[in-house]
């Protein structure tokens, strides 16, 4: 059974960089059928797709965050990562990593991590 687990600091100071890693177990991160994505959810609000990355390192981001976001992938470690720089309180959210399935689901997010609450505060 595929599992994803987010890790990283839960508290980040304003104007610093938020860094999270997602570790994938129980399946291959190098499959040509999947992308790997990050989605966030501010407390009490809805879901926002941040971006997705392919095993090759090719990534796409939502335009509203593109100038501050970088995603990377390390297939040898079965990990992919998210960095958001110059964070403000508006970046406080639960951050989820997820698998984007292009084999059956045409890009739907079929496996999710449990999520990690990252708070931006001094």
Partner 1 sequence: EIVLTQSPGTLSLSPGERATLSCRTSQSVTTTYLGWYQQKPGQAPRLLIYGASTRATGIPDRFSGSGSGTDFTLTISRLEPEDFAVYYCQQYGTSPYSFGQGTKLQIK
| 115 scored as a contact of partner 1 (CB under 8 A) | yes
Chain Cα centroid distance, residue 26? 18
| 49 scored as a contact of partner 1 (CB under 8 A) | yes
How many other β-carbons are positioned within 10 Å of the β-carbon of residue 15? 11
Strand-pair partners of 71:
82
| 70 scored as a contact of partner 1 (CB under 8 A) | no
One DSSP character per residue, 32-83 reads TTEEEEEEEE-TTS--EEEEEE-TTS-EEE-TTTTTTEEEEEETTTTEEEEE
In the complex with partner 1, the residue whose CB is nearer, 3 or 72, is 3
Instruction: State in angstroms the smallest separation of the CB of 98 from partner 1.
Output: 8
Q: Which of 43, 67, 76, 104 binds partner 1 (CB under 8 A)?
A: 104
In the complex with partner 1, the residue whose CB is nearer, 12 or 99, is 99
Residue whose structure tokens are 């992308």: 35
* Interface ranges with partner 1 (CB under 8 A): 39, 46-49, 52, 60, 62-64, 96, 98, 100-101, 104-110, 112-115
């Amino acid at each position: 059974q595929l599992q994803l687990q987010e890790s990283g600091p839960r508290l980040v100071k304003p104007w610093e960089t938020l860094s999270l890693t997602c570790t994938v177990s129980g399946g291959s991160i190098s499959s040509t059928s999947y992308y790997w994505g990050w989605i966030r959810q501010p407390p009490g609000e809805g879901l926002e797709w941040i971006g997705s990355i392919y095993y090759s390192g090719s990534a796409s981001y939502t335009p509203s965050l593109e100038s501050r976001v970088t995603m990377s992938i390390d297939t040898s470690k079965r990990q992919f990562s998210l960095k958001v720089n110059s964070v403000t309180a508006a970046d406080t959210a639960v951050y989820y990593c997820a698998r984007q399935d292009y084999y059956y689901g045409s890009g739907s997010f079929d496996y999710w991590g449990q999520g990690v609450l990252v708070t931006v505060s001094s």
